[in-house]
Structure 1
Amino acid sequence: MERKLIIITGHFGSGKTELSLFYSEKMANETKMPVTLCDLDVINPYFRSRDYKEHLCNNNIHLLAPQGDLLLADLPIVTGEVSAMIENTMVHGIIDVGGDKDGALALGQFSNIIKKGKYELWFVVNGNRPYVSTVEGVIQTVDEIETASRLQVTGIINNTHLGDDIYGPEEVIKGERIAVEVSEKKNIPYMFSFINKKAWDRWVEEGTSPEAKNVTLFERKLLAPWN
């Protein structure tokens, strides 16, 4: 299997860290090649890959993140290990990065190395978040990320939700419309709707499951500290 380097970004509350965890496990289960998840999120203090180190280790996924006393820091702390991971074609890599200008700048310092090989940069849309609740807002954010990171977004993913398991299928359709229109205007492939399996199972039972273009179901792992 060819080595993959996938960068996942999105505004606070988009679900990009949930997607990062999901795809790390997916690759670990589907290939014999080692998988590394790199936490480059310098923005979000609540939902971070680094907080799930034990879970990742139990699933044979190596975590690259600040260590020791720096583990909980909100500073753009990176090491030569990140560059080494990006250049290592014998390891699948997923990079979880904040979805605004500051997050993209943290990623941008590695752009020259990243562009030497193949990569994917996915932008996750939650149409219920400020700044990305409209087509124009998503396009502006994508443009800012591409400029700051000096990389091109290669895929758009819809993860529109209300932060819990009880949102309705209309949220998925609303987000899909936004994501598909962005895809068409920016000429970036639309990939799928990322949907909480608990919500989806309830919709199926109720007979209200949405006719989304593509669906990927996940079992939620991330919980807010207050939960």
Structure 2
Amino acid sequence: MERKLIIITGHFGSGKTELAMFYASKIVKTSKRPVALCDLDVINPYFRSRDYGKELSVEGVRLIAPKGELLKADLPIVTGEVAGVIENDHSHVIIDVGGDKDGALSLGQFSHLIKNRPYEFWFVLNANRPYVSTKLGIINTINEIENASRLKVTGIINNTHLGEDDYGPEEVVKGESLALQASMDLGIPFLFSLISNEVRKRWGRNEYTTSFKDVEYFDRKLLAPWSK
């Protein structure tokens, strides 16, 4: 498998960190290369990949994040190890980035290391979140992220849900429609819709599920800090 460098961004509640952890675990199962997951989210204090270092290590994924007392700090801290793994052509790298223009600024400091090598930059959409519930909002948000990071978004992923497992496939269809509209206007490919296996089983053979364009199914890992 060729070396992958995948950057994942999205607003709070989009599911970007869930996707980052899912893809890191998926790649490590199918490649002999080492896999590193960089937690570059300096905006959101919840649902951070840095809180799952032990679980990721068991799966063979190396977590790059602040250590020790800085692990839980709600500060804009970016470890210097990030530059090292970006430049290491032997490792697959997944970068979990804060989901708006302010979060993307932390990525911008590495743009000179990224832009001259093959990379993917995925925007995760939950159309039930503020600012990205319309096509114009999605387009404006992606433009702001690109300007702040000095990198181009290369794909849009639909992860539209209601913040819980009790929602129907019509929510996914709604988000996919908006993602496809923004995709056409921006000239950025729509990649897939992200759906948990738990939700998939509950839906069963619902008529809506045949209308999805492309789908990735995953097992949920992240829990709200107050539910642990």
**TM-score normalised over the length of structure 1:** 0.97
Mapped contact 1:9–1:99 kept (Cα < 8 A): yes
- CA shift for structure 1 position 43: 1.0
Alignment: residue pair count = 227
Q: Distance in 1 between matches of 2:121 and 2:170?
A: 27
SS in 2 for 1:77: coil
Quote the sequence identity (%).
63
- Segments of 4+ in structure 1 off by > 3 A? 205-208
Residue of structure 2 in register with 1:121 after alignment: 121
- CA shift for structure 1 position 101: 1.3
SS in 2 for 1:209: helix
Q: Distance in 1 between matches of 2:107 and 2:98?
A: 9
Residue of structure 1 in register with 2:166 after alignment: 166
> Does residue 17 in structure 1 map to residue 17 in structure 2?
yes
SS in 2 for 1:116: coil
SS in 1 for 2:25: helix
- CA shift for structure 1 position 80: 2.5
Flag structure 2 segments of 5+ consecutive residues without an equivalent.
Answer: none
Residue of structure 2 in register with 1:8 after alignment: 8
Per-residue deviation, residues 9-42 of structure 1 (Å, max 9, x unmatched):
0000000000000000000001010000000001
CA RMSD of aligned residues (A): 1.0
Alignment of 1:190-205 (within 5 A): 190-205=190-205
Residue of structure 1 in register with 2:37 after alignment: 37
Judging changes above 3 Å, is the alpha-carbon distance between structure 1 residues 206 and 184 closer, same or farther for their aligned structure 2 residues?
A: closer
Flag structure 1 segments of 5+ consecutive residues without an equivalent.
Answer: none
Mapped contact 2:124–2:157 kept (Cα < 8 A): yes
**TM-score normalised over the length of structure 2:** 0.97
Q: Distance in 1 between matches of 2:166 and 2:139?
A: 28
Q: Distance in 2 between matches of 1:154 and 1:170?
A: 26
Judging changes above 3 Å, is the alpha-carbon distance between structure 1 residues 76 and 192 closer, same or farther for their aligned structure 2 residues?
A: same
Residue of structure 1 in register with 2:97 after alignment: 97
Residue of structure 2 in register with 1:66 after alignment: 66
Alignment of 1:170-185 (within 5 A): 170-185=170-185
Q: Distance in 2 between matches of 1:26 and 1:135?
A: 31
Per-residue deviation, residues 163-187 of structure 1 (Å, max 9, x unmatched):
1111100000000001000100000
Residue of structure 2 in register with 1:78 after alignment: 78
SS in 1 for 2:76: coil
